[in-house]
Structure 1
Amino acid sequence: MPLSSMTGFARRAGEGSGFRWNWEIKSVNNKGLEVRCKLPTFLDGFDLQIKRMVGGALARGSVFINLTVTRDGDEAVFEINEERLKALIDVAAQYGGHGGVAQASIDGLLAIKGVADLSVRETSDDEREALEQVLAKDLLELLKALKATREDEGGRMGEVLGAQLAEIQSLSERARATAGDRVEAMQARFLTQLAKLQNTDKPVSEDRLAQEVAMMAVKADIQEELDRLDSHVVEAKKLLKSDKPVGRRLDFLCQEFNREANTLCSKSGDSSLTNIGLDLKALIDQFREQIQNIE
């Protein structure tokens, strides 16, 4: 399965078993999978099957589904309560035109509650069962269309993420080169300071000098952080080529990227290395924004 985004949209129309319908489905990013359905009232309960089917097709995202259904030849008809209408006509004839009372009109009488009602034939259990079966088959095609749009968006995002990983790797290489020059500069400064100390009345002991040198070496060493950055880049590239949903793992990996960049900045002690560390942090933040929408 190619890299998939959590953003997608699809629309589908169909007919069968004496009904016509229209689907609309859209999805956006979410930490988990959440499905919301808007269905005709006579299909109450069908949303449970829809949610199971969506769960089998998608791993993450907020999914919104809207379904409208009409029955072939099923037009709404007016039912007239003739007894009530006749009673109202008699009353209107008795009082109309007397004492300033206007003559009643037929549309006015029909507007009275209980005289005329709009009704639609109810759906039988057999009709509903047949409809749900064809809707379930059609939903599979709708989900395929949604996944296609999500994968299309995921492909474009994959290109962006790949370019960002390449830039992270380039910055790591620059930091490695800069760190080597910095160590040499630190050693030169230390030797200069050491020469000054040797001319004092109380020279520093050899043991203390060894301790200071060791501490400086530990504080200045960023090779371990750079090695981990390189390994994280390799792992991220593998995840982008995975055939499984990788959004969560990429998100966790971003935390590790950020940790190494923070440590690099804290150990830098050099403006050029600090600038590289800041560039890394900004790039990692952009990378993380992108993967928030990866399934």
Structure 2
Amino acid sequence: MIRSMTAFARKDTEGAWGTLTCELRTVNHRYLEPSLRLPEGLRELENELRETLRTRLGRGKVDVGMRLNLQENTEEGLTVNMALAESLNHAARQVNRILDNPAHVSALEVLRWPGVLEAPAHNMAPVHEAARQLFGEALDELITVREREGERLRPLFDERLTEMSDRVAEVRSAMPRLLERQSEQIRERFQAAGVELDEDRLAQELTLLAQKSDVSEELDRLDAHVREVRETLDADRPIGRRLDFLMQELNREANTLSSKSLDADVTRHAVSLKVLIEQMREQVQNLE
């Protein structure tokens, strides 16, 4: 299963407690790197949500954001922290004793002091449950988007792999003809130079030339790597790192093929192979 690492998902929910929004964004990254921004009332869920991400995603930089708007509980009303209010009043009187023109402290000024006026505590249990469910739904949507984006890349890989197999087959079929032509060119050079041919020495030189220019192993490995890439694309697991390794191996064989080239056509095929490999490698960087 091909999954892209670039995706976005957003889910909203509401209840008697208020409204909650969850947004997930992912981009490519070598490893799984989650970053969670949670409101104060949901901070205790962070470890649980991180563990869920680790079990559902293979790699990628994941940004998780939640926004919570709690409904004000107007039935119970507000309460005054009388102990804190009395402490503030006592402190104000002490300060007034040392002032030349003490100012009166009003009730509203005392109520504005942090912690004096308290709202009734919310029951966060239903909010936590709603957050877990909403996060799961957003993660499901994110994975669906990643899979959909990944499947859109499948034709690109299939086309490049098919073209690579065709070019490898062309080089393989052309090698006997190229070696024969190389032999004829050597004979022609000796004849043009008026040098008498030593058939035994010529046979040795042609054998050495054939050994140096033998690319059958490179062609076999290219075919094997192409088959491995196809099998990896069908695997139901994160495949990005494996494909990245295979792209390196394919590129190494293409470079060797180019260095052993006996003919401009073989060089052209080798260059085309490297172009195809690079096109796939660029897409592999964004796969999970």
Q: TM-score, normalised by structure 2?
A: 0.81
- Distance 1:122-1:24 versus aligned 2 partners, 3 A rule: farther
Corresponding residue number in structure 1 for 2:257:
264
CA distance in 1, matches of 2:120, 2:239: 47
Name the structure 2 match of 1:121. 119
The amino acid of 1:72's aligned partner reads Q
Cα–Cα, structure 1 residues 18 and 276, in superposed 2: closer, same or farther, change >3 Å?
same
The match for 1:251 among 216, 236, 244 is: 244
User: Structure 1 residue 259: deviation in Å?
Assistant: 0.8
- Mind listing any 5+ residue stretches in structure 1 that lack a counterpart? 88-94, 96-109
120 and 258 in structure 1: CA distance in 2 versus 1, 3 angstrom threshold: farther
Structure 2 residue aligned with 1:174, among 158, 165, 170? 170
Q: Give the C-alpha shift of residue 236 in structure 1.
A: 1.1
* Contact residue 6 and residue 294 of structure 1 kept, 8 A: yes
Tell me the amino acid that sits aligned with residue 252 of structure 2.
R
Alignment correspondent of 2:29: 30
User: Residue 269 of structure 1: CA displacement?
Assistant: 2.8
Match for residue 217 of structure 1 among 201, 210, 228: 210
> 1:130-168 deviations in whole A, cap 9, x for unaligned?
422331122111110000110110110112111111121
> Secondary structure in 2 aligned to 1:45?
helix
- Say whether the 8 Å CA contact 2:22–2:134 is kept in structure 1: no
Per-residue deviation at 1:17? 6.4
> Residues 114-133 of structure 1, C-alpha deviation per residue, up to 9 Å, x if partnerless?
85769773745xx3344223
Question: Contact conserved, 1:42 with 1:123, CA < 8 A, in 2?
Answer: no
- Tell me what 1:149 maps to: 145
How far 1:287 sits from its partner (Å)? 0.6
Higher mean alpha-carbon deviation, 131-140 vs 62-71, is at 131-140
Q: How far off is 1:281 after superposition?
A: 0.7
The answer to whether the 8 Å contact 2:183/2:206 transfers is no
Rounded to whole Å, the distance in 2 between the matches of 1:161 and 1:239 is 11
1:211-258: CA deviation from partner (whole Å, max 9, x where unpaired): 422210111211221121112111111111122221111111111110
The structure-2 alpha-carbon separation of the partners of 1:186 and 1:120, relative to structure 1 and needing over 3 Å to count, comes to: farther
Asked if the contact 1:17–1:131 (Cα under 8 Å) also holds between the matched residues in 2, the reply is: no
Residue 182 (structure 1) shift: 1.5
Partner of 2:124, secondary structure, is helix
Task: Name the SS for the 1:237 alignment partner.
Answer: helix
Write the mapping of 1:107-118 to structure 2, written as runs, cut at 5 A. Answer: 115=112
Q: Is the 8 A contact 2:4 2:147 kept in 1?
A: yes
Q: Which amino acid aligns with 2:284?
A: I
Identity among equivalent positions (%) equals 33
- Unpaired runs of at least 5, structure 2: 93-100, 102-107
> Aligned runs of 1:223-238 on 2, under 5 Å?
223-238=216-231
- SS of equivalent to 1:252: helix
RMSD, matched Cα: 3.5
Judging changes above 3 Å, is the alpha-carbon distance between structure 1 residues 37 and 204 closer, same or farther for their aligned structure 2 residues?
A: same
2:123 pairs with 1:134: no
| Cα distance change of structure 1 residues 163 and 122 upon mapping to structure 2, 3 Å threshold | farther
Determine the C-alpha separation between the residues in 1 that align with 2:38 and 2:172.
59
Note if contact 1:17-1:134 (Cα within 8 Å) is conserved in structure 2: no
Q: Does 1:287 align with 2:286?
A: no
Q: Which residue of 2 aligns with 1:239?
A: 232
Aligned residues: 277
Of residues 258, 268, 275, the one that matches 2:268 is: 275
Q: Report the counterpart of residue 51 of structure 1 in structure 2.
A: 50
Alignment partner of 1:39 is 2:38: yes
Among 165, 183, 190, the residue aligned to 2:186: 190
Deviations 1:168-199 (A, max 9, x none): 12222232234333212112112334556884
Task: Tell me if structure 1 keeps the 8 A contact 2:73–2:120.
Answer: no
What's 1:11 paired with? 10
Q: Distance in 2 between matches of 1:294 and 1:61?
A: 9
Distance 1:13 1:217 in 2: 69
Q: Say which SS state the counterpart of residue 27 (structure 1) adopts.
A: strand
Q: What is the alpha-carbon distance in structure 2 between the residues aligned to residue 113 and residue 197 of structure 1?
A: 112
